[in-house]
């Protein structure tokens, strides 16, 4: 297509390609603009699928225990409104400190899990989680709160991905 446009002396378009997993190949193509979007935050899905890529997770979601609905069970405020609900139930978020938990329910507002360590936690305890798919998760939030070297900076970044407009 590019050759035909050049032959016809048309304006050459800006060709964008190379998603996060394939950006290494596409970055070598001078005539292309590389667009590896997920590399900004990375996510647990890509971290698991491409462990050889030199990226670290840069976005986490904060969640709290809001109830203990049974033996070995915790209910977190981490529903569909907080993390992307696509994919298998246990492949939605990697909970730091609850790596061996088994998710048993995910609704609009809550994530219910079973863990042999559930009795160690109280209502109000906090966890950080790394989403399996960061793109739709980030778009669920108005802003990101920055943390540097383990400290909350007070700086906030607007998430513009959620401000979509369709014009026809």
Same domain, 24 and 81: no
> Residue 150: what pLDDT?
79
CATH number at residue 149: 2.40.37.20
Residue 130, CB-side half-sphere exposure with 13 Å CA sphere: 15
Taking the C-alpha atoms of residue 55 and residue 43, their distance in angstroms, rounded to an integer, is: 9
Rounded distance between C-alpha atoms, residue 2 and residue 17, angstroms: 14
Give the residue numbers spanning the domain of 129. Answer: 61-160
pLDDT 10s digits, 25-36: 777 777 777 666
- The answer to whether residues 73 and 118 belong to one domain is yes
Q: Are residues 133 and 68 in the same domain?
A: yes
Same domain, yes or no: 79 and 131 = yes
Asked whether residue 51 is domain-assigned, the answer is no
Residue 39, pLDDT > 80, answer no
pLDDT of residue 166 exceeding 90:
no
Same domain, 74 and 155: yes
Q: Give the number of domains in the chain.
A: 2
Q: What is the pTM of this model?
A: 0.77
Q: Are residues 82 and 28 part of one domain? A: no
For residues 74 and 125, state if they share a domain: yes
pLDDT at 149: 84
pLDDT in tens, 97-145: 999 999 999 999 999 999 999 999 999 999 999 999 888 888 888 998 8
The answer to whether residue 105 sits within a structural domain is: yes
Burial of 87 (0-12, 13-18, 19+ CB in 10 A): exposed
How many Å apart are CA 151 and CA 15, to the nearest integer? 40
Distance CA 108, CA 82 (A): 8
Q: How far is CA 113 from CA 60, 65, 92, 100, 145, in A?
A: 19, 10, 12, 10, 26
């Amino acid at each position: 297509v590019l050759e035909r446009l050049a032959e016809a002396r048309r304006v050459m378009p800006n060709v964008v390609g190379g998603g996060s997993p394939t950006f290494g190949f596409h970055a070598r193509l001078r005539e292309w603009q590389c667009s590896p979007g997920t590399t900004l935050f990375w996510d647990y899905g890509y971290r698991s699928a491409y462990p050889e890529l030199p990226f670290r997770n840069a976005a986490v979601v904060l969640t709290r225990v809001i109830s203990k609905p049974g033996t070995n069970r915790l209910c977190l405020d981490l529903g569909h409104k907080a993390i992307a609900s696509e994919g298998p139930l246990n492949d939605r978020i990697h909970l730091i400190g609850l790596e061996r938990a088994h998710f048993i329910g995910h609704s609009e507002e809550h994530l219910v899990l079973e863990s042999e360590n559930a009795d160690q936690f109280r209502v109000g305890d906090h966890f950080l989680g790394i989403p399996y798919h960061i793109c739709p998760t980030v778009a669920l939030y108005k802003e990101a709160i920055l943390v540097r070297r383990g400290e909350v900076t007070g700086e906030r970044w607007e998430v513009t991905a959620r401000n979509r407009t369709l014009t026809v």
